[in-house]
Amino acid sequence: MKKVQDYFLYFMFYSIIGWIYEVFLEVVVYRWGFSNRGALFGPYCVVYGFGAVILLLTLSGVMKKKLRLGPVNITPFLVFVGIVLITTVVELAASYIMEFTLGAWQWDYTRFAFNFQGRIALNPSIRFGIGGMVILYLLHPLAARLTERASLKAQRAAALICLLILAADCIHLVLKNWI
């Protein structure tokens, strides 16, 4: 149960990081102005949370190996390729889920070369690869240390609060869109 709790906290953390990244792109990079980039009301993009947890579950073992091509360690390259593939599949699946449940998805990549139906494209997939490397090699070791240092009671309280907020947000979304 502790592991589930930890992964839920990671899910929330990376969902919030994803929302911050999306807002940063809109406000600072593209200068389009602020808009809530999540499908839910709160400051989180759950697709980033799901993607990060999937990366942690699937690539942690690969990261520990020292795969070599001659004298060169190719493990980071293989991890990068894995991140690109996994996040692209997650984003594609998310677009179909959002279209089915909400009537549309929240991004349009038609302006990018090598896109598929505007749902996925090479440019964002490469960016997600870079972001995934930052998560797996830099942010997650810090997040794991913070989680380990917090008391079990504090972890449970944080997870419960996050769960209640997320559940309320999901209920709000359902009521807003389906009723």
Give which of 41, 53, 46 is closest to 5, Cα–Cα.
Answer: 53
Q: Is residue 104 over pLDDT 90? A: no
Q: What is the mean pLDDT of residues 79-97?
A: 97
Local confidence band at 125 (pLDDT 50, 70, 90 cut-offs): very high
Distance CA 147, CA 12 (A): 13
At 103 the pLDDT is 86
At 164 the pLDDT is 97
The string of pLDDT tens digits covering residues 52-75 is: 999 999 999 999 998 999 999 999
Domain ranges of the chain: 2-178
Distance CA 65, CA 90 (A): 24
Residue 24: partners with Cβ closer than 8 Å, 6 or more residues away: none
Q: Is residue 165 over pLDDT 90? A: yes
Q: Which two tokens stand for residue 37?
A: 């980039």
φ/ψ of residue 39, rounded to 5:
-75, -25
Q: What is the mean pLDDT of residues 100-114?
A: 90
CA distance to 26, 113, 121, 151, per residue, from 19 (Å): 11, 24, 19, 27
The string of pLDDT tens digits covering residues 15-41 is: 999 999 989 988 888 777 777 767 778
